[in-house]
Amino acid sequence: MKKLLIGIITYLVFLLLYFIQADFFSWFTIAKVSPNLFVMLILFLGLFASGPFAMIMGLITGLSLDLIIGKTIGVCAIMLCLVGIIAGYIDKNFSKNSKLTILIMVAVVTFIYEVGLYLFNVIIFEMPIELKPFFKILIIEIIYNSIITIIFYKLITKVGYKIESYFKQKNILTRYF
């Protein structure tokens, strides 16, 4: 029941992040590039909750994004679902206690998401490949996401460990002889 409640709260946080990104970050852009808060949300869900939960929330939030602003339905959903899978893998194999590790995770996942989204758009819409503007936008977005992660690191980890206590309960079974 608590996991369902966390899922509902997570979706409400997604809606809040959507309005923050659409309104606030449309004013505060770096070279007309805004951060991708949704990638960071799904990454942190995968790191602190679980990979399957992040994958499901990535699919739901991605479909919502596709319905709201997407040109095609399913592209953002597939990519955010992939972010959830990667975050679950990262959680099992790397430590999330270091700020540097988290920054590298944010940079790598942002890179994978944006390259995948770009490739989907090139294939689906038969767009010409323009690497110079794409990489300029990609580098700025990675830096922007990293700056936001540094600013909100304490809040993210505090909330993350609270969520982790619900999803990753350590059951200690005592054995009596």
The pLDDT of residue 60: 93
Look-up of token digits 């505090």 = 158
| 2-15 average pLDDT score | 88
pLDDT at residue 176 above 70? no
Residue 172 has pLDDT above 90, yes or no: no
- pTM metric for this prediction: 0.86
Q: Could you read off the pLDDT of 66-100 as tens digits, one per residue?
A: 898 877 888 899 999 999 999 988 888 888 888 89
Q: Output the average pLDDT for the chain.
A: 87
Domain range list for the chain: 2-167
State percent of the chain over pLDDT 90: 44
Range 122-139 average pLDDT: 89
Whether 143 has a pLDDT exceeding 90, the answer reads yes
User: Is pLDDT above 80 for 171?
Assistant: no
The 10s digit of each residue's pLDDT in 43-54 is: 999 998 888 889
The predicted model gives 104-126 an average pLDDT of: 91
User: How many other C-beta atoms lie within 10 A of the C-beta of residue 42?
Assistant: 32
Q: How far apart are the C-alpha atoms of 26 and 106, rounded to whole Å?
A: 21
Predicted pLDDT of residue 175: 62
CATH code of the domain made up of 2-167: 1.10.1760
Q: How far is CA 68 from CA 5, 71, 103, 141, in A?
A: 24, 9, 29, 21
What backbone phi and psi angles, to 5 degrees, belong to 119? -65, -40
Evaluate whether 37 touches 21 at the Cβ level (below 8 Å).
Answer: yes
